[in-house]
Structure 1
């Protein structure tokens, strides 16, 4: 049976590749594809893809040196276009957004696991626009996100308390703070304040698996979609079991908080939230609308939580490496705010250097170095090259923020590059690149940016963040980051302590200003019984 199955797979593979090669030959009758390395028969440029663990942005930057600002590879007939020029990215993804706003169908992550139901992986269609409209109501403008200022202040205050008491587990505290903010906004859910929260853990696990599933070509079914029709007992189809398991977990992390909101509303004990407002507005009766609303709420979390965690961790890494930046920012806070209170969102315009630290954090290591891929929905021509319908396009955001022509000394953390002082023209604001392009700009960008600013400003106000030894000038090492759709710093140690006894008292006073609330985790546990 195994021999017959293998023969069937081989035969189908040859037929599939033959059809793909024929289509590519027809395309060659037009303008050429963007330049790139010569591929091998059948597999194309499979061996030219980044190796596991390699930083994708740096890998694809080599293409600019060899082939110019726009290049391509072809893997099993799939055209992949690499854009290493910011102006070309803007031209395609913004000026020509009607042709480049969809997402490629990565069969494993999108359809089999179910991430196509979220706004990030959805094709550009009616459902996508409905989810985008839902999110725009809540977090689509500065005035809309302003309503969450008190909530953000409370959770950042709790974050400072956690770091004061347990500085060694910085990343856990970042995840908890960001998760608590988004879950409260999306579902009115209060996270567990002093131990692991069941919902934050569930969503975190789902996002970690998304980062693995969404890497193009990570699963063989993305390269050979017809394999999805093979029975589960055939050799080499273990990915089917993985997809079912991950899909079930994704459904749980979407359904559980939705059911929580419905339960709390029925009990009359709910906290107003994004989802409860949709339900109250009577937009929950139609099954299709109900499904869109449910996934819109899940998208609110997935659209910004993991990227915000990465940005805050990157800030703490930068402060460890650049104490002179930390000192200058603290001097500005002391001069403008004093030491009797913490900075707020309302102080942002009066703290230009601290605001520049936020921009430099996003520039120094953009949270999504290659972003999510776009897909062309029509044949097109760019720079004299043919881009076939169905191409997968990546913009090298990391290069856009590290191009020495745009940002001199790109490897250095220099917030002053964004200040208009002494006749200096500020460098381009990285916000233009790091949250996506055109109709695919991250819908949670404004909320994430406010959370980042508040965490940066308040951390600088009260903490000294130095190297493991606590020295003023820690040794300089090249920062290291993990590969992936969302890139996080490698684990690092940072000696975090209050700047003074007065600052320690200020942090501790937050417990009275923002009392710990009873978690809703027990409600979830009771609901599952």
Structure 2
């Protein structure tokens, strides 16, 4: 106990000193805090964090600052997000250090949380190279995705209309797509990889419930409180890495099977970019872990919410099905070529992403040099959070934002509204650090939802009733990325 007490005092004193030395943003408005903790004690959960950020933005406007145990953070919304991510993307392309995460990944971060340095640029090029191997127009990715979706829907059909929770069915299907993308093959049904991916997803969500994860000054407390979960998270990570490493024994540089081979080849052959940057074996292992998780977690949550929305909006479901029947019929499988012919489905996917805002704020950015935003000067190494959900739920940009209404993305003639009219919709980020797998994710979202509604009508369960999802509720905002609470429905073959 004495050691813990001493550590607490040291951290608090350090926070106080840091607070004094880092007050560089006095010219930016924001909520008053208390000594040492700043505003940290007001955001003791993910739900409270998101809720308070929204409250403060309504009070102070599209740019304000908060203080979390000595770390000053600028939060932005509105058109300033576009200025930050696109117009001045290179100025804001950095990432602040999150020590707890670095320790999980071999004392280095490899893609999502990596600072925008030459190695990150090289890694992103390698990932794009790995995706390009699947052909122009993502033809091979489409085949892989459609195959796994069909298996998933076949399993749902065997339920014969009984009540079920689609969580695991969707998760396994998306995981199998990623398994094939990484190694060139899906794993057999019942393989430990599938349920281990769900464990990983659950752990990721549980860790995200503690906002101190994002506060370097609170690293000691986060590690102390979450030590058991962090140890188990490392075990899960090692499980996946060892599975992928088993493919190294059959590696053939003339036959690239998946993303792992592409990254592994770059390591073996000491490939470099124009700046002479190379990747390490640690990069090979942990980069794949980041890509795999990113390819599952948000896509799964969006499709899971889509199922829910179809049940609670049955008239919308009928309208989409009528369009699918007219364009595709029931004999052939939907393809990406059908996207522009199914504007209502595309609009509904956009609306799902807007409504649930699974990532309420983008991952923390950091300025790479002194710059400005919204008329305020920001020093080098200023941490900045784009509050995406503040835009998505802002009536200035989306009329009646808490109403689920895909028609907002349609023209009067029923066609999809042009992309430039949706600039305030940024579920995948934008600019220099936009999601590297955005096109891949959108392809899976379309193919899964089109195939689902072609084959099934989704209905309320026989017991109980689903209520409309509330994206501002504590249940929804409990974890990051957000996911609607578990539910049961029925799927009736058409």
TM-score by length of 2: 0.86
Higher mean Cα deviation, 322-331 or 407-416?
407-416
Q: How does 1:159-308 map to 2 (within 5 A)?
A: 159-166=152-159, 168-193=164-189, 195=190, 197-213=191-207, 217-219=211-213, 222-224=216-218, 237=224, 239=226, 243-253=230-240, 255-265=241-251, 272-279=257-264, 281=265, 283-286=267-270, 288-308=279-299
Q: Is residue 331 of structure 1 aligned with residue 322 of structure 2?
A: yes
Deviations 1:136-158 (A, max 9, x none): 11337993633211111100101
Whole-angstrom CA distance in 1 between matches of 2:415 and 2:327 = 23
Whole-angstrom CA distance in 1 between matches of 2:348 and 2:416 = 17
Whole-angstrom CA distance in 1 between matches of 2:232 and 2:467 = 43
CA RMSD of aligned residues (A): 3.2
> Which residue pairs with 2:481 in the alignment?
486
Deviations 1:478-500 (A, max 9, x none): 4362432211111122221112x
Counting matched residue pairs gives 477
Higher mean Cα deviation, 330-339 or 11-20?
11-20
Whole-angstrom CA distance in 2 between matches of 1:154 and 1:285 = 33
The secondary structure found in structure 1 opposite 2:384 is: strand
- Residue number among 106, 115, 127 corresponding to 2:98 in the alignment: 106
Whole-angstrom CA distance in 2 between matches of 1:220 and 1:133 = 28
> Which residue pairs with 1:95 in the alignment?
87
Q: CA deviation at 1:185?
A: 0.7
**Unaligned runs of at least 5 residues, structure 2:** 271-277
TM-score by length of 1: 0.81
Whole-angstrom CA distance in 2 between matches of 1:130 and 1:337 = 41
- Residue number among 400, 406, 411 corresponding to 2:402 in the alignment: 411
> Which residue pairs with 2:36 in the alignment?
42
Q: Is residue 360 of structure 1 aligned with residue 351 of structure 2?
A: yes
Q: How does 1:466-481 map to 2 (within 5 A)?
A: 466-469=459-462, 477-479=468-470, 481=476
> Which residue pairs with 1:123 in the alignment?
115
The secondary structure found in structure 1 opposite 2:186 is: coil
Q: CA deviation at 1:179?
A: 0.3
> Which residue pairs with 1:231 in the alignment?
none
Q: Max radius of gyration: which structure?
A: 1
CA change 1:204–1:285 in 2 (3 A) is: farther
The secondary structure found in structure 2 opposite 1:79 is: strand
Whole-angstrom CA distance in 2 between matches of 1:423 and 1:350 = 11
Q: Is the 8 A contact 1:353 1:415 kept in 2?
A: yes
Whole-angstrom CA distance in 1 between matches of 2:416 and 2:87 = 26
The secondary structure found in structure 2 opposite 1:100 is: coil
Q: CA deviation at 1:300?
A: 2.4
Deviations 1:408-461 (A, max 9, x none): 122222222222224999383379500012222111111111111011111111
**Unaligned runs of at least 5 residues, structure 1:** 229-235, 500-529
